[in-house]
Amino acid sequence: MKRVEGLSKLTGRELYVDDLAVDDVLWGGTVRSPAARGRIREVRFGSGVDWSEFVVVDHRDIPGSNAVFLIEDDQPVLASDRVRHLHEPVALLAHPSRHAVRRALREVEVVIDQEPPHLDYRLEAAPDRIQYGNDNILKHLRIEKGHVERALAESPVVVEGVYETGAQEHVYLEPQGMLAWEEDGVITVTGSMQCPYYVVDAFRFALEREKDRIRIIQAATGGGFGGKEEYPSGMALHAALLALKASRPVKLIYDRSEDMAVTTKRHPSRVTHRTGVDRDGRLLVQDIEVLLDGGAYVTLSPVVLSRAIIHAGGPYQCDNVRIDGRAMLTNSPPFGAFRGFGAPQTQFAVERHMDRIAGRLGIDPVELRRTNLIDAGGSTATGQVIDDGVDRVAVMERALELADYSGRRARHAEFNSGSHTRKRGIGLATFFHGAGFTGAGEVYLDSVVHVAGLPDGKVEVRTSNVEMGQGTLTIFTELAAARLGCPPEEVVIAPVDTARVPDSGPTVASRTAMIVGHLVEEACDDLRTRLGLAAGADGDSLKEAITGWHEANPADEPLGQARHVQPPHIDWDEETYRGDAYGAFGWATYVADVEVDLRTFATEVRDFVAVQEVGKVLNETLARGQIQGGVVQALGWALLEECKWRDGAMENAQLTNYMIPTTADVPPIRVEFMEVPYPHGAAGAKGIGELPFDGVAPAVANAVAEAVGCDPDSIPLTPERLMELIER
C-alpha cells in the first residue's frame, strides 16, 4: 500500500503548523540568555520600542510550577533567577507583526551576573562549577556480569581504546512550531510534536490545570527524529502562556538558525574500552566506561544513558562485562533524544574497537565477529538470554555476500597499490538495537488504543502516536484492515488530538509499529468481539455490523479497546540492571565501501549495504525508506556534521555551515531484510526506526581505517580531522 498521506504531501496540501491561517493571530518570540551561566540581574526593555503594543510574559506569569515536567523538574519553563545555558528562555514577546517581534527582541537586554560555566563534559568540574549534586553527575548507571577484574588479569591480550562522538543536530526539515489559543476555558495547542501526552503532562504541572482544560493536537509534523520528543513541551508552554495572557491565538515558529542554536542535539560521548581476548579473538572480558554530555538540565539524559550502556558491549557473547555510565552536566543547551538514543554512540565505540582488536591480533575483522556474535542461548551484557531464532552470523554473511566484501577487498588492494592520491577500503559493523521502552518502561506507559466503528460503517483507529514521516498512518491502516478483513479505505486514523484519542504512549523508541501496532490489532479483535462477529468475518459483515450497531444505539459507538500487557518473557531488574532489557532486538550488519582522497582528505562513500533482521517487514517501501533515511542521516554524523561550540553554544547554527548530506554525497543505499517474526509485535514486526543509525559510523570509520591505514577514534571524520589523524 502506498503512503496514506503521500499525495497530500507531494502536492503541498498537507498542513503544518505554520501553514494554518488564523485570524487575529499574534507572533511569538523568545528572549534568551546571552550567557552560559549566571544570575539574572535584570531584564531591560529598550526605549526604542512601544512596549504597549506587545504582550510580554516572564516566569511570574506561570500559574503552576516553573518547570518542564519530565524525569526531574529542574528545567524552568522560563528562567527566573539564574540561567544555566546560552539561549535559555527568559521571557516571551508577542505582537501582530512577526517583523516587529524580531526587531523588539533585539531591544531586550538580559543582564546577567556571570558565573563560570562548565563546558567540557570530559573534564572534572572545579568546585565553583558544580551545579548538580556534589559532582555534576546527572545519572550514574552500571551493568555488571561475571568477574571483570579477575578476567582482565587472566586475559592473554588486553586491548584498550578511547572513542568520541560529537553532537548532532536533527535538522528535521520543518523547524519547531506551535500555535496556541484558549477556547471555552480549554487551552489548546497544535504544533509539530512526537508526544502529545508529554505536552499534556507538562501543561498540568506548569499551568496547574486539569486534563479536561488542556487539549493538544498534533499538526502535520515535518520530521522529528527525537528532536520533537521532549523539546516541544516547553515550547508549547511558551505559546500557551502568551496566548493566555494575550487572550488571542499565538504562533511561535522558530527560524532555522534559532532552532539549530537552541534545541536539543544528540549527546556527545566518550567511551573507553578495555577488552581482554584470547589469541583466537574470543572476548573474555569487556570493561567499558561511557560518558555522555547531558547539557544543562537532566531532561532525558538518564534514559539515553541507559540505552547507551545496554548497547555498549555490542551484539557479542562475553561472560565478564562491566559497563559504567555517567551523564554529566555542562552549561550547554540540554542534549536530547535523537534516533538511536545513546546506542549509536556506544556502538560506534565497540565496533571500532572490534576492528582495533582484530588488527592487534592479526585476525580478519569478519572472523573476529563470527567468533563472538551471540549464539542462540547466549546472553547480552545485562544477562538477557537471546533465543529468538535469528542467526546473526547468517545476517552478517548475507551482507558480506551482497557487498562482495572479499572481492572488493582484493580489488581495493590492487587499486591502492596503483594510486598515490586515492585509497579505497571496505569496512563492516555488526550491531543490534532494542525496540520499545527499556525494561519495565512499557509497563509504566500502560498504553491504550481504541478502534471505533463509525456511523458510516468505517472504523477509526485512535492512538496518540503520530505520523512524522515514518509511516504511522499507513502502517496502522494496513494493520487494522488486515485484522478486520476490510479494505484499507474503510479504515480512518483519527487525528492525534488528546480530546479524542487515548494515551498510547509517545512516538519514540521504535515502538510505534511493533508495540502500538500490536495494540491496534488487539483493539480490532476487541471491536469484532463486541460486534459479535466471528474471527473470520469479512469486511462486508463488519460494515453491516457497525452500521447496525449505530442504528440500534444512536447515542453510542462500538468501541474496541486494548491495553498493553507486558510479554511474559520480559524479566527486568531496574536496580541491578540485570535481565531482559527489551522484548526484542533487531540485528544487522552494514558494509561500507569508501574512497579517501589524499589530496583533500575527503571520504566518499562508494557503496553501502544494509542487511537487517527486523522480525517482519510490514510495508516494504516504508521499511526501506526508514533504513535508507537512517543510514544517510548517520553518514552525516559519521563524516560531515559537526557542531562547532563557542562558549557553550553552537556557532555554526545555519544550514550553510552545518553540513547534512545532499543527494551528491551519498550512494544508493542497498537494503535487504531478513525476517524472523516476533510473536509480540504487530504482525511479527520489530521496531526498525532507530536500528539503521547504529551501525553506519563504525562501518564507515572501519572502511577509512582500512583505506588509509590509520585508526580513527572520533567522529565526525571530517577531512580536517582525518588529515590530523594521518599525520599523527
Task: Scan residues 396-425 and list those touching another protein (CB under 8 A).
Answer: 420-421
Q: What is the rounded end-to-end Cα distance, in angstroms, of the chain?
A: 53
Contacts of 351 (CB under 8 A, 6+ apart): 314, 429, 430, 431, 695, 698, 699, 702
> What is the phi/psi pair of residue 352, to 5°?
-65, -40
For cell 500502560, name the residue.
446
For cell 484558549, name the residue.
182
Binding test (CB under 8 A) with another protein, winner from 281, 485, 661, 712: 661
Degrees (nearest 5) of the Cα angle 31, 299, 73?
Answer: 80
CB of 517 to another protein, least distance (A): 18
Stretch that binds another protein, among 382-390, 444-452, 546-554, 661-669 (CB under 8 A): 661-669
CB of 223 to another protein, least distance (A): 4
CB of 668 to another protein, least distance (A): 6
Degrees (nearest 5) of the Cα angle 501, 503, 505?
Answer: 130
Q: How many residues belong to the site for another protein (CB under 8 A)?
A: 82
Binding test (CB under 8 A) with another protein, winner from 153, 446, 654, 679: 654
Q: Is 656 a residue that touches another protein (CB under 8 A)? A: yes
- Grid coordinates of 549: 450497531
Closer CB to another protein, residue 203 or residue 601? 601
Binding test (CB under 8 A) with another protein, winner from 26, 143, 242, 468: 468
CB of 421 to another protein, least distance (A): 6
Binding test (CB under 8 A) with another protein, winner from 317, 379, 561, 621: 621
Closer CB to another protein, residue 190 or residue 470? 470
3-state secondary structure of 46: coil
Cα–Cα dist 348/163, whole Å? 8
Among positions 325-344, residues that touch another protein (CB under 8 A) are none
Contacts of 73 (CB under 8 A, 6+ apart): 65, 67, 205
Closer CB to another protein, residue 50 or residue 113? 50
Residue pair 62/241 in contact (Cβ under 8 Å)? The answer is yes
Closer CB to another protein, residue 18 or residue 164? 18
Q: Is 718 a residue that touches another protein (CB under 8 A)? A: yes
Dihedral sign from CA coordinates of 708, 714, 720, 723: negative
Closer CB to another protein, residue 2 or residue 41? 2
Q: What binding mask, one character per residue, do residues 92-111 give for another protein by CB under 8 A, x or -?
A: ------xx--xx--x-----
Binding test (CB under 8 A) with another protein, winner from 122, 149, 657, 679: 657
Stretch that binds another protein, among 28-36, 180-188, 222-230, 297-305 (CB under 8 A): 222-230
CB of 104 to another protein, least distance (A): 10
Stretch that binds another protein, among 207-215, 451-459, 595-603, 701-709 (CB under 8 A): 595-603
CB of 197 to another protein, least distance (A): 21
Cα–Cα dist 311/290, whole Å? 11
Binding test (CB under 8 A) with another protein, winner from 28, 175, 378, 485: 175
Binding test (CB under 8 A) with another protein, winner from 83, 242, 622, 683: 622
Directed axis angle between helix 696-708 and helix 620-635, to 10°? 50
Q: Is 659 a residue that touches another protein (CB under 8 A)? A: yes
Closer CB to another protein, residue 6 or residue 579? 6
> What is the phi/psi pair of residue 629, to 5°?
-65, -40
> How does DSSP classify residue 59?
G
Give the alpha-carbon dihedral of 69, 25, 173, 93, to 10 degrees. Answer: -60
Nearest to 512 by CA among 578, 445, 569: 445
- Grid coordinates of 640: 560531515
Among positions 244-273, residues that touch another protein (CB under 8 A) are 255-257
Stretch that binds another protein, among 130-138, 293-301, 488-496, 713-721 (CB under 8 A): 713-721
CB of 30 to another protein, least distance (A): 14
Stretch that binds another protein, among 57-65, 399-407, 585-593, 623-631 (CB under 8 A): 623-631
3-state SS of 536-582 is CCCHHHHHHHHHHHHHHCCCCCCEEEEECCCCCCCCEECCCCEECCC
Q: Is 592 a residue that touches another protein (CB under 8 A)? A: no
Q: Is 220 a residue that touches another protein (CB under 8 A)? A: yes
Closer CB to another protein, residue 301 or residue 472? 472
Cα–Cα dist 140/138, whole Å? 7
Closer CB to another protein, residue 314 or residue 469? 469
Contacts of 178 (CB under 8 A, 6+ apart): 17, 189, 190, 191, 192, 232, 235, 236, 238, 239, 251, 252, 253
Binding test (CB under 8 A) with another protein, winner from 64, 567, 625, 677: 625
CB of 96 to another protein, least distance (A): 12
Binding test (CB under 8 A) with another protein, winner from 615, 630, 681, 684: 630
Cα–Cα dist 577/290, whole Å? 15
Residue pair 34/112 in contact (Cβ under 8 Å)? The answer is yes
CB count within 10 Å of CB 461 equals 27
Query: At 56, which helix (H) or strand (E)?
Result: strand 55-57
Dihedral sign from CA coordinates of 622, 626, 631, 633: positive
Binding test (CB under 8 A) with another protein, winner from 247, 552, 668, 728: 668
Q: Is 496 a residue that touches another protein (CB under 8 A)? A: no
Q: Is 170 a residue that touches another protein (CB under 8 A)? A: yes
Closer CB to another protein, residue 271 or residue 722? 722
Closer CB to another protein, residue 175 or residue 583? 175
Give the alpha-carbon dihedral of 169, 628, 226, 102, to 10 degrees. Answer: 50
Binding test (CB under 8 A) with another protein, winner from 44, 50, 651, 709: 651
Closer CB to another protein, residue 394 or residue 602? 602
Among positions 338-397, residues that touch another protein (CB under 8 A) are none
Cis peptide before 716 (omega within 30 of 0): yes
Stretch that binds another protein, among 135-143, 363-371, 594-602, 673-681 (CB under 8 A): 594-602
Closer CB to another protein, residue 150 or residue 644? 644
For cell 488528546, name the residue.
498
Among positions 692-711, residues that touch another protein (CB under 8 A) are none
Closer CB to another protein, residue 41 or residue 644? 644
